[in-house]
Amino acid sequence: MAKLYSECPQKKNNLTPKEETVDFLLNYSKALSVIHCNKLKFEALLN
């Protein structure tokens, strides 16, 4: 088992997201509002 974990046969992939994906996530996070009321959390998407 130790031999399996010591080897690194996998290549590292350079993962770069598309610009549209980054824009979507940023806009979503800007529109998301979390309201705390006592011990409850309400998530509202402000569009």
CA atoms within 13 A on the CB side of 46: 8
Domain count, the chain: 1
Q: Is 38 inside any structural domain? A: yes
Average pLDDT over residues 16-38: 92
pLDDT score of 36: 93
Q: Which domain holds residue 26?
A: 20-47
| Length of the chain in terms of residues written | 47
17, 24 Cβ separation under 8 angstroms: no
pLDDT of 1 above 60: no
Domain assignment present for 7: no
Q: What is the pLDDT of residue 14?
A: 77
Instruction: Name the band, by pLDDT with cuts 50, 70 and 90, for residue 15.
Output: confident
Check: pTM over 0.75? Answer yes or no.
Answer: no
